[in-house]
Amino acid sequence: MKNEKKLMQKNGLKPSSPPKEPIMKRRRTIILLFTLLPLLFLGCQTYTAAKGMAAIEPIPSVVEEKTITKYSPALIESERRIAALTLEKEKLNLEAQAKADQILEMEQQNVLLETEIFELQSLIEENRTLQQEQKEQRLRIEEELAEQEKLRLSLLQELSDERDALEMETRMLKAQLEEKTLTIEEKNRLEQERSEEAKRLEQERSAKRLALEAEEKRIAAENEERRIAMEKEWRQIPPLDQITYPRLYKTDKPTTLANEGEKLRALMLPLDDVPWKDSKVVLEVSKSISDLDVPVVFVTGHMENVIALVKEMRSNAALFSTGAIITSFPILEMSNFGAEIQYQQDKTLQLVVANLPEYQVVRDLVGGREWQTTQKSVTAARLGHLQQMLGEGSLTVATLLGASLYEPSYRDWNTFSPVGYRQTDYLWPLSEFLESEGFYDTYRLTHFSEATNAGNTIITPEWGERVDFIYSRKLLPLTSTMLTIGGESVPDESGISRFGVLGTFLVP
């Protein structure tokens, strides 16, 4: 401890003063000690007196009196005992004093230890402060080194870029020097090569131009041949006011026969019953069905629209006053409203197309008038036309009928219909007649119910109905679906949309 104080004085530092709290503890200890010493002394004295009194023999109560002299044994014994007690008392006092001195010395040592602890704590704190300062200084040095490293890398990059630029400039100067040192003969050779290359390129361009002209001529010739062929085909169909029915329309497309077990697919296309104003509609309709590759297509509507579609599709067809039948099967025989085709090597089919426009019943239905009376008044003539169309064919040959009847099927009208005006069990006569003749309604037979699968083929702002059908006799309907048909399925200026029907059949 003294060495540490000398070291601090040598370094010009003042020893730290001990904390005040140990001094207060020392004062309280001294006060307590001065309080206990008298008590201890009194206790020792009390103990000595009591011991002495116990040692004194009681004076006998006998009447006999003995004469006590200076050299009496009793007096000598009493003095001896008093002297012994006095010695013992002094011994106890000395022991108490020794203990007090020991306690005081321990207190002093405690104070010295506390002072040393305080000094050590001060040194530890100073050491911690020095370490923190050294750490901060080390961090500053590291940051400065990092900045210097960044600066060094930046300088290296700049030097590298400058070196690359100098190398590039050197190469360019070398190239320029080499170019300038070329001889006149070398320059002439290069000029000759450039001239020859230019001639070669010109020859290639001329060859390409000639090839392109030849290709254009070939395409023009093909288009001309196609136009001539189309005109030849189209001449089969005279102007609408001069045409007679039935009429066969032949193209250069080959006919085909169905394979054994192959299912028959047929499509019903109801076109607009007024001539198209836009010539693009026929292209849209043809494009909408071109990828289906259906071998039998029934087409109804205005004959101008029907003929336009037949010409656009460029397929073999039979034209009738009620529409057209476009087919890839060979046409064996035609009647006024249908044709017999060769389906397979040993099987033939009968195809019939029917178109019976009628508008007054619908107008009365939409207008809330007595439409049933109107319907009954026109039924006889309409049934007669339908009977005439079906009467030309054989009852023993499997038959497909594509029909635009312009009246609903009675199977779509019943009290459970979700459509309000259909909630009556009305027996529409044309559909009832066809069923009595052994024909199946393809769409209704292949769908669950009229409530969940309406299948409307015509939709107007006021109503929607299924008025276009594919009926089959001696053919089993397998599937059917509604089909959009180009611009016809887009509402026209009157808000009317038309949809087709695609069916699949099993030919027995």
10 Å Cβ neighbour count for 213?
A: 10
210 to each of 28, 196, 198, 205, 287, how far by Cα in Å? 128, 21, 18, 8, 35
Q: How far apart are CA 102 and CA 89, in angstroms?
A: 20
- Which residues, 6 or more positions from 299, have their beta carbon under 8 angstroms from its beta carbon? 269, 271, 306, 309, 310, 323, 324, 325, 326, 353, 402
Model confidence, pTM? 0.59
- Residue-wise DSSP of 476-493: EEEEEEEEE-GGGGS--T
- Which residues, 6 or more positions from 274, have their beta carbon under 8 angstroms from its beta carbon? 302
The reply to whether 422 and 470 lie within a common domain is: yes
The reply to whether 397 and 323 lie within a common domain is: yes
Q: Which two tokens stand for residue 33?
A: 């000690």
The reply to whether 355 and 491 lie within a common domain is: yes
The reply to whether 267 and 392 lie within a common domain is: yes
Length of the chain measured in residues: 508
- Which residues, 6 or more positions from 228, have their beta carbon under 8 angstroms from its beta carbon? none
The reply to whether 214 and 263 lie within a common domain is: no
CATH code: domain of residue 475: 3.60.10.10
- Residue at 215: amino acid letter: E
In a domain, 168, yes or no: no
Q: If phi over 0 gives left and psi between -120 and 50 gives alpha, with beta otherwise, what is residue 200?
A: alpha
The reply to whether 265 and 400 lie within a common domain is: yes
The three-point CA angle 350-354-359 to 5° equals 165
The reply to whether 31 and 76 lie within a common domain is: yes
The three-point CA angle 334-381-366 to 5° equals 115
Q: With contact defined as beta carbons under 8 Å apart, do 115 and 26 qualify? A: no
The reply to whether 114 and 195 lie within a common domain is: no
Radius of gyration of the chain (CA): 66
Q: How far apart are CA 22 and CA 498, in angstroms?
A: 111
The reply to whether 261 and 325 lie within a common domain is: yes
Q: How far apart are CA 213 and CA 155, in angstroms?
A: 64
DSSP-assigned beta bridge partners for residue 292: none
Full domain range(s) for residue 310: 247-506
**Closest by alpha carbon to 413, among 428, 434, 435?**
428
DSSP structure class, residue 452: T
Q: How far apart are CA 343 and CA 350, in angstroms?
A: 10
Answer with the one of 211, 235, 259 that is the final residue of a domain: 235
- What phi and psi values does residue 337 have, to the nearest 5 degrees? -130, 5
**Closest by alpha carbon to 500, among 461, 443, 448?**
443
- Residue at 202: amino acid letter: E
| pLDDT tens readout for residues 83-123 | 888 888 888 888 888 888 888 888 888 888 888 888 888 88
Say what the pLDDT of residue 36 is: 66
**Closest by alpha carbon to 46, among 83, 100, 88?**
88
Half-sphere exposure (Cβ direction) of 488: Cα atoms closer than 13 Å: 30
The 3-state secondary structure of 234-259, one letter per residue: HCCCCCCCCCCCCEEECCCCCCCCCC
| pLDDT tens readout for residues 331-353 | 999 999 999 999 999 999 999 99
Answer with the one of 162, 192, 209 that is the final residue of a domain: 162
- What phi and psi values does residue 293 have, to the nearest 5 degrees? 55, 55
Tokens 């000639």 belong to which residue? 210
Answer with the one of 110, 129, 162 that is the final residue of a domain: 162
Q: How many domains does the chain have?
A: 3
Q: Is 195 helix (H, G, I), strand (E, B) or coil?
A: helix
Q: Which two tokens stand for residue 468?
A: 């276009």
In a domain, 493, yes or no: yes
In a domain, 60, yes or no: no
Burial letters 89-99, b for 16+ CB under 10 A, else e: beebeeebeee
The reply to whether 141 and 279 lie within a common domain is: no
In a domain, 67, yes or no: no
Say what the pLDDT of residue 118 is: 86
Say what the pLDDT of residue 27 is: 62
In a domain, 348, yes or no: yes
In a domain, 85, yes or no: yes
In a domain, 176, yes or no: no
pLDDT tens-place values along the chain, 508 residues long: 545 555 455 555 455 454 445 555 566 666 666 666 656 655 555 545 455 555 544 544 444 444 555 567 777 888 888 888 888 888 888 888 888 888 888 888 888 888 888 888 888 888 888 888 888 888 888 888 888 888 888 888 888 888 888 888 888 888 777 777 767 777 778 888 888 888 888 888 889 888 988 888 888 887 777 767 667 777 888 898 999 999 999 998 999 999 999 999 999 999 999 999 988 999 999 999 999 999 999 999 999 999 999 999 999 999 999 999 999 999 999 999 999 999 999 999 999 999 999 999 989 988 889 999 999 999 999 999 999 999 987 888 999 999 999 999 999 998 888 888 888 889 999 999 999 999 999 999 999 888 778 899 999 998 999 999 999 999 999 999 999 999 999 998 889 999 999 999 999 9
Q: With contact defined as beta carbons under 8 Å apart, do 301 and 317 qualify? A: no
The reply to whether 272 and 385 lie within a common domain is: yes
93 to each of 37, 47, 81, 102, 269, how far by Cα in Å? 10, 12, 18, 14, 141
The reply to whether 202 and 251 lie within a common domain is: no
Say what the pLDDT of residue 484 is: 95
Q: Is 409 helix (H, G, I), strand (E, B) or coil?
A: coil
Q: Which two tokens stand for residue 10?
A: 């040598």
Q: Which two tokens stand for residue 414?
A: 């019943």
Say what the pLDDT of residue 44 is: 53
In a domain, 433, yes or no: yes
- The dihedral sign for the CA sequence 295, 300, 301, 305: positive
